[in-house]
């Protein structure tokens, strides 16, 4: 009986779409989209950076990645002989995070 009600539910869900008609867009929608794409953007946020600032940002990102990779390599070498290096790595790497007591 359970299968029969499940089939009825599936049939009812599929039949609920019978009277639906396809939505028709406004006639000038395509031209409005093209006009909006070609129009100059007045409200766009522009971040202006000097070449020196760009190099500083790039160097900062590179330094951050380098320090993270070196930390991972050092931790892997340090805990290579232990039974569960992934668990030890996670514990040591995120050891500064302590549970908050309420």
58 occurs within a structural domain? no
CA angle centred on 20, ends 17 and 24, rounded to 5°? 145
35 occurs within a structural domain? no
76 occurs within a structural domain? yes
Residue 81 phi/psi, 5° resolution?
A: -85, -5
pTM over 0.75: no
72 occurs within a structural domain? yes
> What is the count of structural domains for the chain?
1
19 occurs within a structural domain? no
Percent helix, strand and coil across the chain, each rounded to 5? 60, 0, 40
83 occurs within a structural domain? yes
Residue-wise pLDDT tens digits, 15-45: 888 888 888 889 999 999 998 888 777 776 7
28 occurs within a structural domain? no
Q: Which residues contact 88 (CB under 8 A, 6 or more apart)?
A: 79, 82
- Per the structure, the complete domain to which residue 78 belongs is given by 68-97
Residue-wise pLDDT tens digits, 42-74: 776 778 889 999 999 999 999 999 999 998 888
């Amino acid at each position: 009986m359970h299968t029969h009600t499940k089939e009825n539910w599936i049939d009812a869900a599929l039949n609920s779409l019978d009277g639906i008609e396809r939505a028709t867009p406004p006639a000038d929608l395509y031209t409005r989209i093209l006009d909006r794409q070609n129009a100059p953007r007045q409200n766009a946020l522009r971040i202006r950076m000097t070449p020196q600032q760009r190099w500083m940002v790039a160097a900062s990102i590179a330094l951050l990645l380098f320090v993270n990779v070196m930390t991972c390599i050092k931790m892997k070498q340090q805990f290579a002989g232990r039974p569960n290096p992934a668990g030890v790595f996670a514990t040591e790497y995120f050891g500064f995070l302590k549970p908050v007591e309420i």
